[in-house]
Amino acid sequence: MTTAENRVALVTGASRGIGARIATALAHRGWDLTLSARRPESLQDFAENLAEKTGRRVLAVPADMSDEDAVSELAGRHDESFDRLDALVLNAGMGAIGPFSDFPLRKLDKLFTVNVRSAYQLVQQLLPTLRETGTGSTTGARVIAMASMAGVSAEPLNSAYGATKAALISLCETLTVEEHAHGVSGVAVCPGYVATDMTASRDDVDADTMITADDVADQTVAVTQLSRTVVIPRLLLTRPGPNLWHA
Contact code string over 55-74 relative to ligand NAP, x by CB under 6 A: ---------xxx--------
Assess contact for 150 and 93: CB atoms under 8 A.
no
- Segment holding 214, helix H or strand E: helix 213-223
Among 189, 241, 246, smallest CA distance to 218 is for 189
Binding of residue 91 to ligand NAP (CB under 6 A): yes
Binding of residue 92 to ligand NAP (CB under 6 A): yes
Stretch in the footprint of ligand NAP (CB under 6 A) among 23-31, 51-59, 75-83, 193-201: 193-201
Assess contact for 38 and 49: CB atoms under 8 A.
no
- Segment holding 46, helix H or strand E: helix 40-54
- One of 38, 77, 107, 180 touching ligand NAP (CB under 6 A): 38
Binding of residue 39 to ligand NAP (CB under 6 A): yes
- Min. distance of Cβ 182 from ligand NAP in angstroms? 26
Nearer to ligand NAP, 162 or 183 (CB): 162
Nearer to ligand NAP, 205 or 226 (CB): 205
Assess contact for 1 and 26: CB atoms under 8 A.
no
d(CA 85, CA 132): 9
The residues that bridge with 236 in the sheet, in sequence order, are 190
- One of 69, 80, 197, 208 touching ligand NAP (CB under 6 A): 197
Site for ligand NAP in 96-115 (CB under 6 A): 114
Q: Using DSSP, state whether 66 is helix, strand or coil.
A: coil
Stretch in the footprint of ligand NAP (CB under 6 A) among 74-82, 92-100, 124-132, 218-226: 92-100
- DSSP code of 211? B
d(CA 10, CA 180): 20
- One of 10, 27, 33, 37 touching ligand NAP (CB under 6 A): 37
Q: Answer yes or no: 120 catalytic.
A: no
Binding of residue 196 to ligand NAP (CB under 6 A): yes
- Min. distance of Cβ 167 from ligand NAP in angstroms? 12
- Segment holding 111, helix H or strand E: helix 105-112
Assess contact for 37 and 92: CB atoms under 8 A.
yes
Nearer to ligand NAP, 13 or 134 (CB): 13
Phi then psi dihedrals of residue 194, to 5 deg: -115, 140
Assess contact for 145 and 187: CB atoms under 8 A.
yes
Nearer to ligand NAP, 5 or 206 (CB): 206
- 31, 82, 103, 161: which one is catalytic? 161
Q: Catalytic residue positions? A: 161
List residues binding ligand NAP (CB under 6 A): 12-19, 37-39, 42, 64-66, 91-95, 114, 146, 148, 191, 193-194, 196-199
